[in-house]
């Protein structure tokens, strides 16, 4: 049969508002079924947004705990190819401080053969495990240490027999405060205690053992203990986003002659390991959430197929009233989308509530990545569209007379 | 007794054909093919009240479907308000049904989740326009079929007769050129069926063109014109009083 376009008697129309009304009709008249079929989607979305929210919240609380220490880099002198202990050049601190994103650098040198005693009368073998370290005045700023009493070394006190004690070193020596002037016996000389540090944050202590150190200036170390002035380590603080780039250029900057001698450790590696350990199950839960979402989508598709079968006469009636195939398809697609959107909304609310409850128990701030919310809602809608597509096509393909023929 | 129901108020032009069937054949695939309509020629003019009568299996339901553009004939032409439907797309046919045709079914086919008012307004849904306007027209149509006091009720709160009145109001609300009623009294008791027939006659008196399909000779007797169909062929076409 050849068809030419006839004069249009006036097309069928279905406004967006009417589509919404028509699409929600099935949900309004079968509430329990709608709620149950949206449940699968809401469980999936709740799992995904809850896991992402809790992961983000716990990561944030970990970061808060560590302060800004995630951007600390350590450079240590390694071994040379011949196996002897390498030394870092005396120019290292100055060179590193000229790297753009570096915001702070401090050099240290461990004076391993010199010990710290409370008085000259302490037996030589009672070293208390205090490590004497030569340090540049910029050390507290570079590692994030703060002074409890007195002050840290400055360019002036670095040239005189002055010492600053780590928190644990001070307590081992029995010096709790500086209310009384205190002196300690170091390598045959009296050193005046000019400052006591507060305990440094856990991760820094893990990496540096600073709490059990005693710090003196480089010049005085060279003068009293025939120290050659070569640092054994550097602490470098860099702009957070540039840490990796700085780490990459550090060996060449520190020791251009033998870059292999400088070993760079990224403190934030510890942080990442800890975050990764906390997030080890996140992937599993996200996977379970995705499975729940998929099952929810299948549930919606199933309910929609049944709905199309049950509502054959409604479809036939709507065709008789002037609905086009497209209008019928749109109606069922809208219904599936509404179902999944309701499920997604409920799931997001549950996920936020779970995150809030977790944040409350951890006394930390609740943080939900916004992309978790977008992607959750987006996934719910995409699943709804997929789930509704087949039933909608079936409904649209139904011939009006077949739909009206009641058994 | 039949009252005159002046709705819809189409200008009367008694000779204009609202529906024309020419050589309509409808076959269903099979071996041999089932011939449901074997060459039907029929003309319904504006303002008529006609009954198509036949026993079950005579092809009258198929005839209604073909007349109502719910099904295309295998051969032949169906013209509605002068327009040849055989050259129309499915979308255009939908538009035609939305604007020119009204259907009343034996099973009423009301939507349970909607009030009487919204069910009646459903007759205008696929024309677009403002929902408030559609509801106003629906209230008028419901008033006219005697359901003015039932607008907020749900279909399952209505009697069978009231449900069929709702369906008739839905068919009328868009002032279609032709209303087709398929066994409108089939699910009703005699008294209620009689009142529905009275309603249809009243609407006819007000100018609505109506075709009733029935196997009930009593229903057919209440109409001006009686078209008998058997085995897919029209065997008689008589006008009352002629």
Select from A313, A319, A322 the Cβ nearest to the Cβ of B95.
Answer: A322
Which of A28-37, A316-325, B44-53 shows the lowest mean pLDDT across its residues? A28-37
Most confident range, picked from A192-196, A212-216, B131-135: B131-135
Helix/strand/coil (H, E, C) string of chain A? CCCCCCCCCCCCECCHHHHHHHHHHHHHHCHHHHHHHHHHHHHHHHHHHHHHHHHHHHHHHHHHHHCCHHHEEEEEECECCCCCECCCCCCHHHHHHCCCCEEEEEEEEECCCCCEECCCCCCCCCCCCCEEEEECCCHHHHHCCCEEEECCCCCCHHHCCEEEECHHHHHHHCCCCCCCCCEEEECCEEEEEEEEECCCCHHHHHHHCHHHEEEECHHHHHHHHCCCCCCCEEEEEECHHHHHHHHHHHHHHHCCCCHHHEEEEECHHHHHHHHHHHCCCHHHHHHHHHHHHHHHHHHHHHHHHHHHHHCHHHHHHHHHCCCCHHHHHHHHHHHHHHHHHHHHHHHHHHHHHHHHHHHHHHCCCCCCCHHHHHHHHHHHHHHHHHHHHHHHHHHHHCCHHHHHCCC
Identify the band that residue A319 occupies on the pLDDT scale cut at 50, 70 and 90: very high
A contacts of B128 (beta carbons < 8 Å)? 13-15, 18
Report the pLDDT averaged over residues B217-233.
90
Q: B171 is written with which tokens?
A: 């068919």
The one-character DSSP state at B123 is G
B-chain CB neighbours of A397 within 8 Å are none
Sorting pLDDT into bands at 50, 70 and 90, what band is B78?
very high
B231-B233-B238 Cα angle (round to 5): 120
Contacts of A15 in chain B (CB under 8 A): 128-129
E-strand stretches of chain B: 17-28, 34-45, 49-53, 75-80, 83-84, 101-104, 178-182, 210-214, 225-230, 233-239
Instruction: Report which DSSP code applies to B242.
Output: -
A14·B96 Cβ contact <8 A: no
Question: How many A×B Cβ pairs under 8 Å?
Answer: 122
Each residue's pLDDT tens digit, A270-309: 656 666 666 667 778 788 888 888 888 898 899 999 999 9
Q: How far is CA A97 from CA A102, A256, A290, in A?
A: 6, 15, 48
Q: Which residues of A touch B (CB under 8 A)?
A: 1, 3-15, 17-18, 21-22, 25-26, 28-29, 313-314, 316-327, 399-401, 404, 406
C-alpha distances in Å from residue A283, one per residue of A62, A286, B76: 19, 5, 66
Angstroms from A376 CA to nearest CA on chain B: 31
- Dmax (CA) for chain A in angstroms is 118
Q: Report pLDDT for B158.
A: 95
With CA atoms as reference, report the closest residue to A199 among A143, A136, A132, A118.
A143
Residue holding tokens 């987006």?
A378
What backbone torsions phi and psi does residue A316 show, to the nearest 5 degrees?
-60, -45
Q: What is the pLDDT of residue A227?
A: 83
Task: Name the domain count of chain B.
Answer: 1
Give the list of residues 6+ apart from residue A264 with CB closer than 8 angstroms, or none: A73, A74, A75, A247, A250, A251
Collect all residues of chain B within an 8 Å Cβ-Cβ radius of residue A21.
131
Nearest CA in chain A to B98: A322
What ipTM, to 2 d.p.? 0.92
B76 to chain A: which residues are within 8 Å by CB?
A: none
Q: Note down the domain range covering B176.
A: 17-239
Using an 8 Å CB-CB cutoff, list chain A residues near B131: 17-18, 21
Residue A43 vs residues A51, A190, A383, A388: alpha-carbon distances, Å: 12, 70, 14, 19
In chain B, % of residues over pLDDT 90 = 78
For residue A142, pLDDT over 60 is answered with: yes
Residues B23-33: what's their mean pLDDT?
Answer: 92
**Per-residue confidence (pLDDT) for residue A278, from 0 to 100:** 64
Chain A interface disruption, residue of B109, B124, B175, most A CBs within 10 A: B109
Q: Residue A20: its chain B contacts at CB < 8 A?
A: none
**Which chain B residues have any C-beta within 8 angstroms of a chain A C-beta?**
65, 68, 70-71, 81, 83-92, 94-101, 103, 105, 107, 109, 111-114, 122-123, 125-129, 131, 170
- The confidence score (pLDDT) of residue A407 equals 47
Mean pLDDT, range B184-203, rounded to an integer? 91
Q: Which of B89, B95, B123 sits opposite A10 (nearest CB)?
A: B95
Q: Dihedral of the CA atoms B48, B53, B56, B59 (nearest 10)?
A: -60
Q: Which residue of B has its CA nearest to A401?
A: B70
- Min Cα distance B180 → chain A (Å) is 11
Q: Above pLDDT 90, what percent of chain A?
A: 20
B79 to chain A: closest CA residue = A6
Phi-psi region of B109 (alpha: psi -120 to 50; beta: other; left: phi over 0): left
Of A22, A27, A317, A328, which to mutate for an interface test with B (greatest number of B Cβ within 10 Å)?
A: A317
The more confident residue out of A109 and B49 is: B49
pLDDT tens digit sequence for A246-260: 877 888 887 887 777
The answer to whether the CB of A203 falls within 8 A of the CB of A141 is no
Chain segment B133-189, per-residue pLDDT in tens: 999 999 999 999 999 999 999 999 999 999 999 999 999 999 999 999 999 998 899
Is B10 contained in some domain?
Answer: no
CATH number at residue B208: 3.40.50.300
- Range name among A90-94, A168-172, A384-388 with the lowest pLDDT average: A90-94
Nearest CA in chain B to A325: B91
Verify whether the Cβ–Cβ distance A7 to B83 is below 8 Å: yes
Range name among A152-161, A196-205, A264-273, B189-198 with the lowest pLDDT average: A264-273
Is B2 contained in some domain? no
CA atoms of A37 and A138, how far apart (whole Å): 63
Average pLDDT of A60-77? 68
CA of A401 to nearest chain B CA: how many angstroms apart?
Answer: 6
CB contact under 8 A, B125 and A14: yes
Per-residue pLDDT at A221 exceeds 70: yes
**What is the reported pLDDT for A148?**
87
Judged by CB atoms closer than 8 Å, whether chains meet at B125 and A314 is answered as no
Query: CB-CB: which of B90, B99, B170 is closest to A10?
Result: B99
What confidence score (pLDDT) does residue A2 get?
43
Cβ of A6 within 8 Å of Cβ of B84? The answer is: yes
Degrees to nearest 5, angle at CA A178 with A173 and A182: 55
Cβ distance B94 to A313 less than 8 Å, yes or no, reads: no
Looking at every residue in chain A, the average pLDDT score rounds to 83
> Which of A21, A26, A31, A321 is the best residue to mutate to test the B interface, defined by the most B CB atoms within 10 Å of its own CB?
A321
The strand pairing partners of B228, in sequence order, are B53, B236
CA A198 vs. chain centroid, Å, equals 27
Residue B84 pLDDT grade (very low, low, confident, very high; cuts 50, 70, 90): very high
How far apart are the CA of A384 and the nearest CA of chain B, in angstroms?
23
Q: Which of A285-289, B2-6, B33-37 has the lowest mean pLDDT?
A: B2-6
In this prediction, residue A5 has a pLDDT band, given cuts at 50, 70 and 90, of: very low
What 3-state DSSP class applies to B86? Answer: helix
Best to test chain B binding among A320, A324, A326 (most B CBs inside 10 Å): A320
Six-digit token string for A337: 């989308």
User: Of all helices (H) and strands (E), which one includes residue B62?
Assistant: helix B60-67
């Amino acid at each position: 049969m050849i068809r030419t376009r006839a004069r249009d008697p006036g097309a069928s129309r279905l406004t967006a508002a009417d589509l919404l009304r028509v699409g929600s009709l099935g949900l309004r008249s079968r509430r329990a079924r709608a709620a149950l079929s949206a449940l699968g989607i809401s469980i999936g979305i709740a799992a995904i947004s809850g896991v992402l929210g809790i992961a983000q919240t716990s990561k944030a609380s970990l970061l808060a705990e560590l302060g800004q220490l995630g951007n600390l880099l350590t450079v240590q002198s390694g071994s040379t190819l011949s196996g002897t202990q390498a030394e870092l050049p005396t120019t290292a601190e100055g060179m590193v401080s000229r790297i753009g994103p570096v915001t702070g650098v401090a050099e240290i040198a461990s004076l391993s053969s010199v010990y710290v005693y409370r008085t000259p009368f302490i037996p030589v073998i009672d070293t208390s495990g205090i490590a004497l370290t030569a340090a540049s005045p910029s050390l507290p700023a570079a590692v994030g240490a703060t002074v409890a009493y007195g002050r840290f070394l400055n360019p002036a006190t670095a040239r005189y027999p002055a010492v600053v004690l780590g928190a644990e070193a001070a307590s081992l020596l029995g010096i709790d405060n500086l209310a009384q002037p205190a002196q300690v016996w170091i390598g045959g000389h009296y050193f005046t205690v000019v400052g006591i540090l507060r305990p440094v944050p856990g991760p820094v202590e893990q990496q540096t053992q600073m709490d059990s150190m005693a710090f003196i200036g480089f010049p005085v170390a060279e003068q009293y203990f025939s120290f050659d002035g070569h640092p054994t380590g550097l602490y470098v603080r860099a702009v957070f986003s540039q840490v990796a780039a700085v780490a990459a250029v550090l060996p060449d900057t520190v020791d251009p002659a033998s870059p292999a001698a400088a070993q760079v450790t990224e403190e934030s590696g510890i942080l990442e390991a800890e975050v990764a350990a906390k997030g080890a199950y996140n992937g599993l839960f996200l996977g379970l959430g995705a499975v729940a979402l998929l099952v929810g989508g299948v549930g919606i598709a199933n309910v929609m197929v049944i709905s199309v079968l049950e509502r054959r006469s409604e479809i036939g009636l709507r065709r008789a009233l002037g609905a086009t195939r497209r209008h019928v398809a749109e109606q069922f697609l809208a219904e599936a989308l509404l179902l999944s959107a309701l499920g997604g909304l409920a799931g997001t609310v549950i996920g936020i509530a779970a995150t809030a409850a977790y944040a409350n128990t951890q006394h930390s701030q609740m943080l939900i990545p916004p992309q978790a919310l977008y992607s959750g809602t987006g996934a719910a809608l995409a699943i709804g569209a997929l789930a509704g597509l087949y039933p909608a096509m079936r409904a649209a393909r139904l011939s009006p007379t077949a739909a009206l023929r009641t058994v | 007794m039949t009252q005159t129901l002046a709705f819809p108020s189409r200008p009367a032009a008694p000779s204009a054909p609202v529906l024309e069937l020419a050589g309509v054949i409808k076959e269903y695939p099979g071996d041999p093919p089932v011939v449901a309509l074997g060459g039907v020629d029929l003309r319904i003019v504006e303002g008529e009240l006609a009954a198509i009568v036949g026993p079950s299996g005579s092809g009258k339901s198929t005839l209604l479907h073909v007349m109502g553009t719910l099904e295309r004939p295998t051969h032949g032409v169906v013209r509605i308000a002068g327009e040849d439907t055989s050259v129309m797309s499915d979308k255009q046919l939908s538009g035609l049904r939305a604007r020119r045709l009204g259907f009343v079914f034996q099973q009423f086919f009301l939507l349970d989740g909607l009030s009487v008012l919204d069910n009646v307004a459903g007759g205008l849904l696929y024309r677009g326009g403002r929902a408030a306007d559609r509801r106003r027209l629906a209230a008028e149509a419901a008033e006219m079929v005697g359901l003015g006091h039932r607008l907020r009720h749900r279909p399952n709160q209505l009697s069978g007769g009231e449900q069929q009145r709702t369906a008739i109001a839905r068919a009328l609300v868009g002032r279609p050129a032709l209303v087709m009623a398929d066994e409108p009294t089939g699910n009703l008791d005699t008294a209620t069926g009689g009142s529905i027939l009275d309603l249809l006659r009243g609407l006819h008196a007000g100018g609505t063109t109506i075709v009733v399909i029935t196997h009930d000779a009593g229903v057919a007797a209440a109409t001006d014109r009686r078209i008998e169909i058997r085995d897919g062929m029209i065997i008689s076409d008589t006008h009352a009083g002629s």
